[in-house]
Chains A and B, each alone.
Chain A
Amino acid sequence: MYTLTHLNELESESIYVLREVAAQFERPVILFSGGKDSIVITHLAHKAFYPLRLPFPLLHIDTGHNFRETIDYRDALVKKLGATLIVGSVQESIDNGRVKEETGYNASRNKLQTITLLDTIEKYKFDAAIGGARRDEEKARAKERFFSHRDEFGQWDPKNQRPELWNIFNGKKNTGEHFRVFPISNWTEMDVWQYIYKERVEMPSLYFTHERDVFCRDGQWLAAEPCMKRKPGEIVERKQVRCRTIGDISCTGLTLSRATSLEEIIDEIAATRVTERGGRADDKRSETAMEDRKISGYF
């Protein structure tokens, strides 16, 4: 007789949720950003239905401002799993006039992604979009459900969420509505890394310390890529950095680090005193920035 460890129990819970998605929805899709959380979701989904091939396509919302490593990793993973990849292009949304690009030094396509995402969900008639959001990430997410109902405008109503009891998940909806599903809701950043370590999940090189051209803005290191417009006085330096979260280049803060292995990353996280979203420019806009974006249909 053995007992379940916290990682076994979290994995079991997440696999349960993923299997509920397969049972209750007709056209589910995994929102794949190339970040560790969506990588873990894909890994869990692969395990949940084995020996069946991954039953959900991967949807990548491409802002056009991606790290090359993210795209390489994505394509290799899709090939390895025999999965279907769908790309929703923010550049296309801009070209079609669906969204208007932000201007200025802090311009980011992060917010524009929402429209591209909702358009892609509608185009493919996806009824469940599976994401890697976790409740420990940000205060507005602490109240998110596993099965999060979205109205026909893709909006989240924080005051009118369906109660979620025991392990019964209600995925019923009217035509045109869809669900966001968050199977790793109960995981923390540390759980995710411990799981990656335990399962030996292959990770993009961006998470490990490497040398890169960077510049400093408001105390945060950002990648000196062509899409990043620098203010006068912002000087490019070459530094040893790694990503703690991976998003679009414009909102991914880089951490000065020496961690080159999973063990060292876990050590670094255990010692660190700033939340991982502390490096996300998009959350810093106001005290309730995340809540506002979620209401409008953000991930």
Chain B
Amino acid sequence: MEKKETPGGYLDMELLRFTTAGSVDDGKSTLIGRLLYDSKSIFEDQLEDIEAVSRRGGNEEVNLALLTDGLRSEREQGITIDVAYRYFATPRRKFIIADTPGHVQYTRNMVTGASTADLAIILVDARNGVLEQTLRHSYIASLLGIPHVVVCVNKMDLVNFSGEVFEAIRARYLEVAARLGLQHVTFLPLSAKLGDNVVSPSTRMPWYTGPTLMEILENTPIDHKINARETRFPVQHVIRPISDKFHDFRGYAGRLAGGTLKKGDPVTIFPSGLHSTVTAVTRYDRELDEAITPESITVQLADDIDVGRGDLIVARGEQPRVEREITLMVCWFNERPARPGNRYIVMQATRETAGILKTIHHVVNINTLEPETGKEALSANDIARVTIKTAKPLVFDPYARNRVTGSLVLVDPDTFETVGGGMITDGE
């Protein structure tokens, strides 16, 4: 591909989304502040602002953590309570950080931040090693299907930059990774406060010869680009202009959620099961040779058949599941408890239907990861295995196969709040 340099950077950088979870004192905000600071993504006025606030708060050094703690209530309490999104870029990549709080009572925020991430940074305090919260953050990364995990052993300066300490933590975490089935795990020792191995290699840990965190972030393969899999195109909207020039135009607008799509591809539409052939794939006024995930495109079909929002167009032969009883892992977001028999609106891909919570199989104790049975209701921040029944069938893939067609949210029909996020494990 042509590498075209433009003033101020490249037009063809890649985009990597990653998430961080951390609790008070484990140095997460400092790490992010360090990434932004050392990659020169902090502007003078932002720095002046945090310097002034640090001084008022009685801090002697500039508190890099203030860069990421935005809302007033958070500044006052000194904690991060929501998901904050941060941006920086290097000549190779643009990065989006979903920065989340790490305590149990913010599990829902961690799940939200993890839902779109390609990579998760797990912070371990070198003095404390693998803790309950490490397990929790790792479990969420595994549950949300984040393809890459980077374990940052932070505060190495407080353990004399000891290689033995690092190795012991690594060995212990590998047991956790095996238990959770995490595939791609990388380890590195760092000091966010001093900057060792964040952007610049540390001179104080000669025993570590691996990449810095920034090098890892710049070189980790991005999942949807290496993992084409089955073609999935959820129809969002039908475009039918009423004009002489485009008299017979009927375009299906959507964002490709898996695989590729091109002119001539035989396709099947679900749930109807009707067949057709792609006659054009366009982006604006330009016909594409081939569209790839996750492009937003408009698709035209050879046959005049009934296709609308909520339908799923797939490559013929690559059949999705079509079911009304679905089992999923759900994270509960709301203070109103979820009980079997409760009704919800189910939003999945571009489909929407009424649903009822049938069974709570178990709630996961996210500190021990043990399933706890016998729970009659789900409360906020619970992660549970449940079965729902829907009024209209869902067209889906298991979440492990496709994060778009395998995910759903539950909406409270009284308040319209988003009350649960689900990852489909199977149909009944």
Q: Which residues of A contact B (CB under 8 A)?
A: 1-13, 15-16, 19-20, 22-23, 47-53, 135-136, 139-140, 142-143, 158-159, 161-168, 170, 172-174, 185-186, 188, 190-191, 193-194, 197-198, 263-264, 266-267, 269-270, 272-275, 278, 287-288, 291
Cβ contacts B275-316/A at 8 Å (1 or 0 each)? 000000001110000101011101000000000010000000
Cβ contacts B93-132/A at 8 Å (1 or 0 each)? 1101000000000001101100110000000000000000
Is B416's CB under 8 angstroms from A6's CB?
no
A143/B44 contact (C-beta < 8 A), A165-B111, A264-B7 known: no
A164/B112 contact (C-beta < 8 A), A3-B225, A47-B284, A191-B94 known: yes
Is A140's CB under 8 angstroms from B71's CB?
yes
Residues on the B chain within 8 Å of A2, using CB:
1, 292
B181 to chain A, nearest CB (A): 21
A268 to chain B, nearest CB (A): 8
Name the residue on A nearest B419 (C-beta): A163
Residues on the B chain within 8 Å of A7, using CB:
11-12
Is B411's CB under 8 angstroms from A12's CB?
no
Residues on the A chain within 8 Å of B298, using CB:
50
Name the residue on A nearest B420 (C-beta): A163
Residues on the B chain within 8 Å of A50, using CB:
239, 284-285, 298
Name the residue on A nearest B249 (C-beta): A51
Is B79 located at the chain interface by the 8 A CB criterion? Answer: no
A209 to chain B, nearest CB (A): 15
Name the residue on B nearest A287 (C-beta): B53
Is B249's CB under 8 angstroms from A4's CB?
no
Is B89 located at the chain interface by the 8 A CB criterion? Answer: yes
Residues on the A chain within 8 Å of B116, using CB:
165-167
Is A12's CB under 8 angstroms from B416's CB?
no
Is A188's CB under 8 angstroms from B85's CB?
no
CA distance A172 to B49 in the complex (A): 38
Residues on the A chain within 8 Å of B239, using CB:
49-52
Is A3's CB under 8 angstroms from B8's CB?
no
Is A166's CB under 8 angstroms from B403's CB?
yes
Is A287's CB under 8 angstroms from B416's CB?
no
A11/B296 contact (C-beta < 8 A), A185-B85, A288-B72 known: yes
Is A135's CB under 8 angstroms from B85's CB?
yes
Is B418's CB under 8 angstroms from A291's CB?
no
Is B43's CB under 8 angstroms from A23's CB?
no
Is B236's CB under 8 angstroms from A16's CB?
yes
Is A190's CB under 8 angstroms from B345's CB?
no
Name the residue on A nearest B112 (C-beta): A163
Residues on the A chain within 8 Å of B295, using CB:
4, 8, 12
Name the residue on A nearest B99 (C-beta): A142
Is B237's CB under 8 angstroms from A19's CB?
yes
Contact of A143 among B14, B43, B84 (CB under 8 A): B84
CA distance A266 to B254 in the complex (A): 32
CA distance A142 to B100 in the complex (A): 12
Instruction: List B residues 164-222 near A (Cβ within 8 Å).
Output: none
CA distance A275 to B45 in the complex (A): 7
Residues on the B chain within 8 Å of A136, using CB:
86-87
Interface centre among B43, B89, B253, B345 (most CB of A within 10 A): B253
Contact of A142 among B75, B85, B109, B345 (CB under 8 A): B85
Is A16's CB under 8 angstroms from B245's CB?
no
Is B82's CB under 8 angstroms from A161's CB?
yes
Residues on the B chain within 8 Å of A163, using CB:
108-109, 111-112, 333, 409, 418, 421
Q: Which residues of B contact A (CB under 8 A)?
A: 1, 6-9, 11-15, 43-46, 49, 53, 68, 70-73, 75, 81-87, 89, 93-94, 96, 108-109, 111-112, 115-116, 225, 236-237, 239-241, 243, 245-246, 249, 253-255, 260, 283-285, 290, 292, 294-296, 298, 309, 333, 345, 347-348, 350, 403-404, 407-409, 411, 416-418, 421
Known contacts A140-B70, A185-B85, A278-B45, then 4 further A-B pairs from the complex at CB < 8 Å, ordered by chain A residue: A5-B12, A165-B116, A170-B409, A273-B44
Is A10's CB under 8 angstroms from B292's CB?
no
8 CB contacts below 8 A, A to B, read A4-B295, A50-B298, A140-B71, A163-B409, A168-B348, A170-B347, A194-B6, A275-B46
Residues on the B chain within 8 Å of A15, using CB:
255, 296
Is B416's CB under 8 angstroms from A170's CB?
yes
Is B416's CB under 8 angstroms from A186's CB?
no
- The 3 A-B pairs with the shortest beta carbon distances in the complex, nearest first, are A270-B8, A139-B70, A172-B416
A161 to chain B, nearest CB (A): 7
Is B7's CB under 8 angstroms from A267's CB?
yes
Residues on the B chain within 8 Å of A158, using CB:
71, 73, 82
Contact of B292 among A3, A174, A273 (CB under 8 A): A3
Interface centre among B70, B254, B404 (most CB of A within 10 A): B70
Residues on the A chain within 8 Å of B290, using CB:
1
CA distance A64 to B116 in the complex (A): 42
A261 to chain B, nearest CB (A): 9
Residues on the A chain within 8 Å of B53, using CB:
287
CA distance A161 to B93 in the complex (A): 30
Contact of A4 among B49, B96, B294, B417 (CB under 8 A): B294
A47 to chain B, nearest CB (A): 4
Is B407's CB under 8 angstroms from A19's CB?
no
Is B8's CB under 8 angstroms from A194's CB?
yes
A1/B70 contact (C-beta < 8 A), A6-B94, A278-B43 known: no
Residues on the B chain within 8 Å of A6, using CB:
12-15, 93-94
Is B8's CB under 8 angstroms from A162's CB?
no
Contact of A51 among B70, B87, B243, B416 (CB under 8 A): B243
Is A291's CB under 8 angstroms from B43's CB?
no
CA distance A197 to B12 in the complex (A): 13
A162/B7 contact (C-beta < 8 A), A19-B236, A22-B237, A188-B89 known: no
Contact of A190 among B8, B109, B255 (CB under 8 A): B8
B276 to chain A, nearest CB (A): 21
Is B13's CB under 8 angstroms from A186's CB?
no
CA distance A273 to B255 in the complex (A): 36
CA distance A91 to B243 in the complex (A): 39
Is A274's CB under 8 angstroms from B409's CB?
no
CA distance A85 to B309 in the complex (A): 29
A69 to chain B, nearest CB (A): 24
A134 to chain B, nearest CB (A): 9
